[in-house]
Each structure stands twice: as structure tokens, then as C-alpha cells.
Structure 1
Amino acid sequence: MDIRTLRYFVEVVRQQSFTRAAEKLFVTQPTISKMLKNLEDELNCTLLIRDGRKLLLTDTGRVVFERGQAILGEFSQLESELSDINHLHKGVLRLGIPPMVGMLMAEPISRFRQRYPGVELKIAEFGGLTVQQAVSNGELDMAMTALPVEEDSSLTILPLFNHPLCVLTPRTAEWEGKTSLSPAELASHPLVIYNEEFALSQQLMRLFAEHDVKPRIAVRSGQWDFLAAMVQAGIGVAILPEPICQRLDRQNFAGSRCKASCAGSWG
């Protein structure tokens, strides 16, 4: 039994006529007659009895008719909901955003909500590597991470924007006038950096390895404001995206810049 056969049967009962049902469904009368005969053969029972010009339901036919109406109603609702989802009228979008770029997403999310008010956003705030893996596992629909992303045939990568990275240091005489720092110079100072789950942390470790230097990690954290506080307290230097550095009080910090990219990925 399929949904089309069930629809034919219900319409015949409603119209009390094979001819009118065929016209309503835009099919031929022999098509409907054949489909209903196949349905009776499949169920091994009689569903309709002709009484003159009337079509009478058997007990079995009445059950199939009543349940069939309910099934067709549910199927129609399912089609409507799927159409809403496919056209972004409603649904849920699971989005992964690393904390270090979260502040950049307020305006894009606002525009998305204005355009698709029926779509609920569920945002997971974890490091870039974690949200990237979550997309691969099907736990998230889309995520943002730092470039470059390791090749993965199951993910589609779309570069979104470029922002410089800031080497954030205390505003002391030691750092005044510094405009750039080499990996070796960075490694000679205690570093306060993001946790291993962040793509930026992985990139920094790769950079140090390429220059054959071993960094001195003092503190790891997933919160940029905590890392900035550690810098202000003189515990070490941090490497943060420029939009974060711009939120900080420049009277308390100094620093230089380097380039980094951000991308969106989805599976």
C-alpha cells in the first residue's frame, strides 16, 4: 500500500463515484479501478460494495477509510513542514562559533534573523577544531574556524574574512616601539594562548615547529578576556585576533600585528 493508492480510495469514498474521483485526481477511471482492485488484493478483503448507484463501505473498508483520512492528513502536514524547511521558512540551524570570533557574528546573525525569522539558531561555542569535528560528525550543520583547514573531503570550506592577529603585550618599556616579533622572540617569553581545541593554537604550534623553536606556554584558556587579563598582570604575552584587541584599553596594552583568516565550513 502506498500513499497514492490510499488517496485514490479515500477520494472514491468521498465522491461516491469512480468517475468523479478520477476527475478530481486528474487520472483515468480505469487507473483508479485498477489501483483499488490491487489494494483489495493486497489486504485480502473487500473494501467497497456497489448498491445501485451507491458505494457502501464494508467494515474493513470503513477502518481503512477512517485511518486513511488520518494518514493523508499527517502526510499533508509533513509535506508542508518539509516545504517550510526547504525554503527556510522554519527549522533549526546548528552553528558552531569559536569564542574568539563570536563578537564578529552579531551583525550577520541579526541579518539572518531578519531574513529567516522562522529558523531557530542553536549556537555552540567551542574552539575551531572542536566545532570543525562536530560538523564532520553531523552534530553541527555549519561552523566557523581559522584557516588553513586540513583537507577533508566531507567538508565544504568558504573563506569569510581576514583579520590581523595581534601580539598582545603589557604596555611597559620592554615592549614600547615594537612593531613585529619573530617566532623565536615570541618563544623566548611566557605565552598565554588558547586551548588545544582552538585552530589558532594549532597554527601557532605549527609555526613554532617550522622555526624549530619551543614555546614557553604559561597559561591556556578558552576565554579571550581571561588571556588579556593574564597579559595585563604580566604573566605573559598573548596572540589574539585584532577585533578582540580593539575592545581592550590600549592604555594598558601594546602589541604588533600579523595576518590570519577565518572560514565557514559545513558538511
Structure 2
Amino acid sequence: MIDKLEFFIALAREQHFGRAAETLGITQPTLSAAVKQLEDQLGVMLVKRGSRFQGLTAEGEQVLTWARRIVGDARTMREEMRAARKGLSGRIRIAAIPTALAMVARITTPFRERHPGVSFSVLSRTSIEVLSLLGNFDIDVGITYLDNEPLGNVVSVPLYSERYQLITAAGNALSDRAQVSWAEVAELPLCLLTPDMQNRRIIDHHLAEAGAVARPTLESNSMIVLFSHIRTGKWASIMPLNLAETFGFAEPIRAIPIVEPDASHLVGLVATKREPHLPLVAALLDEAMAMAEAGLAASGNHPPPLQR
């Protein structure tokens, strides 16, 4: 039954028989037959019938919740047995918000040094997509904001606080200032992330608090695009301090703290709330906690607890 439940999860995710079959590497008739067999075994209709996929029935939604739990438990069992035989190995799938991508290596590098049999795939996704991918078992962990929008049924490890800077070229307006206000920044030609990004929603919120409105002259879902425009000397942006430091801005680019308010938002590692976790996920959560404790100890702060 496990394989049929995996097929059903894929169908619910793709909401299209053809696309789901393609992602599973099977034919559409095979998928349709598996779903029908699952319905026969359970004695309920799972999918609304029609010429095309029309959604799940109420019973289908209930079964989807169980299917995710059962498939997750089966995978955990297999991974635990493999770890018992061979040690930690396999691939960890990570999705991170764009502003956190630069710090992923701080977790993956020491983790792989301890567990050389592990490999990683890292995707750039919006905060909403991170949570959706987690819920559909398409990733193992995510890195996203923890304190701005609802996270749902996850465990989290706070990693760092994101603080915001005006990033601009020397000689531009406000570039000689020690700090600037959100209201002042709103008057500059800004390049910002697109509105579907939580970072942009955070920026819009703080601008609104200052009585201003974001009117960017360029929007992109790529941090590389924003950096390349800043380097022309004709654009400015609002970015987290840790991200600007990672890219090593030097003269003639300046990073200036934004105040009024002096805002910060917590970023951390998230995983589906379940016990036990996959061995790889449990080990990565421990790695993230150690990293957070070390970083906060260096700054003289107390480490935040694992949010379960």
C-alpha cells in the first residue's frame, strides 16, 4: 500500500494526473489504476471524478493526512536501518529563502565534514514555498523567517537575527550617513525582491510604519540581480547586514544601518513536526542548534530553545 499512498500524495500535490505520473516516472493509466485500487481498499472515493482532476473528496483530504504520516514513517524506518548499517548517508534536500542562501554553507560544510557520505541539494524558494515543500515531503528542511508569518506544524531552530541596511554606492544620496531612517530610504531609486518574497513584505511593513510606501524601480526574485544593479552605482537596495557582509561589499559600496525603527527578524531552520525525525534531519537539527549556540555565545547572548 505504501507505493499507492506515495502515488496519491503526488497526485494531490500536482493536481493533475499527467503531471503527477510524470514526476513519479510512471504512465498515467498506471497512476489512475493505483488510485482506484487504493479507493477500493479503503472503501471510499478519494478523487472527484470528471474529465480532468477536480480535487479531492472530503475523505480524500483525510486520507492525504494519513498518507503523509504513513509514508513519512516508512521512510524514517528505512533511513534508520540504513544509518544503523552504514552510518549517516544520503541526500538532504534544503529550500531556503533568498536572503538566507549565503549562510547555508555554514551548516552544510561542517555537517559534511562529520558525515562524508551525505550530499545536499539546495533550492531558493519563497517562505510560502518552503513550507509547502516541507508539507509535501519534497524537501527535508527549510530555512526561513520564524517570527513574521505563521509557520504551521513545524519544529524550528533559530539561527540568527536579520537586521537591515541601506546598500548604496559611495557618492549617492545618503551614502555619507552613519545611519538612515526608513522614510529617507523610501525616497531613493530602490531595487528590491518581488512582493511574493517575505523579505519584501517585511520591508514594505517597516516602510509603512514610517509613513512611506515602497516604489522600487526594479524588482527581482534573484539576489544576484539586485547586487549587480547596486554595483552599477545607479541603484540602492535594502538588505540584511549578514547578507551584505557575505558578499564582501567594499568601497565604493556602503552598507548603512536603517533605523526608526531599528528592525530585526529571526531566521532559522524548520522541519516537519514529527517523532522520530529521519536520522539525517535529526542530525542536521542538532548541527543547526550547535551553530546557533556557538554564534550566540560569541555575541554574549543566550541561545534560543528548539521550538517544538
Question: For this structure pair, what is the TM-score category when the shorter chain's length is used for normalisation?
Answer: 0.5 to 0.7
RMSD after superposition: 2.8
Query: Contact between 2:244 and 2:255, CA under 8 Å: does it hold in 1?
Result: no
**5+ residue gaps, structure 1:** 1-77
Q: Judging changes above 3 Å, is the alpha-carbon distance between structure 1 residues 99 and 214 closer, same or farther for their aligned structure 2 residues?
A: closer
Q: Which residue of 1 aligns with 2:110?
A: 111
Superposed counterparts of 1:122-201, under 5 Å: 122-172=121-171, 174-201=173-200
Q: Which runs of 5+ in 2 are unaligned?
A: 1-75, 259-263, 273-308
* Structure-2 residue corresponding to 1:265: 270
CA contact (8 A) 1:166 1:239 kept: yes
Distance 1:94 1:136 in 2: 13
SS at match of 1:217: coil
From the superposition, tell whether residues 167 and 81 of structure 1 become closer, same or farther in structure 2 (CA, over 3 Å).
closer
Q: Distance in 2 between matches of 1:187 and 1:85?
A: 52
* Partner-residue secondary structure (3-state), 1:188: coil
The one-letter amino acid of 1:123's match is V
1:154-204 Cα distance to aligned partner (Å, 9 max, x none)? 122221112432210121153243122222212222221112343211111
Contact 1:95–1:140 (8 Å) recurs in 2: yes
Deviation at 1:135, TM superposition (A): 1.8
1:90/1:119 contact within 8 Å kept? yes
The amino acid across from 2:129 in the alignment is T
**Residue 224 (structure 1) shift:** 2.3
Match of 2:82 among 58, 81, 84: 84
Q: Note the 1:187-226 alignment, pairs <5 A.
A: 187-226=186-225
In structure 2, what residue type is equivalent to 1:104?
A: M
Identity, in percent, stands at: 18
The equivalent residue for 1:254 is 254
Task: Extract structure 1 runs of 4+ deviating beyond 4 A.
Answer: 78-82, 85-88
Tell me how far 1:85 sits from its aligned partner. Answer: 4.5
What SS does the corresponding residue of 1:216 show, helix, strand or coil?
A: coil
Relative to structure 1, the CA distance from residue 105 to residue 153 in structure 2 (aligned partners, 3 Å threshold; closer, same or farther) is: closer
Report the CA distance between 1:234 and its aligned residue.
4.3
Offset from partner CA, 1:88-143 (integer Å, 9 cap, x none): 62343221123432222223211111223333322222233322332234322211
Amino acid at match of 1:257: P
Within 1, Cα distance between the matches of 2:242 and 2:164?
Answer: 9
Q: Secondary structure at the match of 1:120?
A: strand
* Preserved contact between residue 92 and residue 121 of structure 1 (Cα < 8 Å): yes
Q: Is the 8 A contact 1:96 1:124 kept in 2?
A: yes
Alpha-carbon distance in structure 2 between the residues aligned to 1:116 and 1:85: 11
Amino acid at match of 1:250: A
What is the alpha-carbon distance in structure 1 between the residues aligned to residue 163 and residue 102 of structure 2? 15
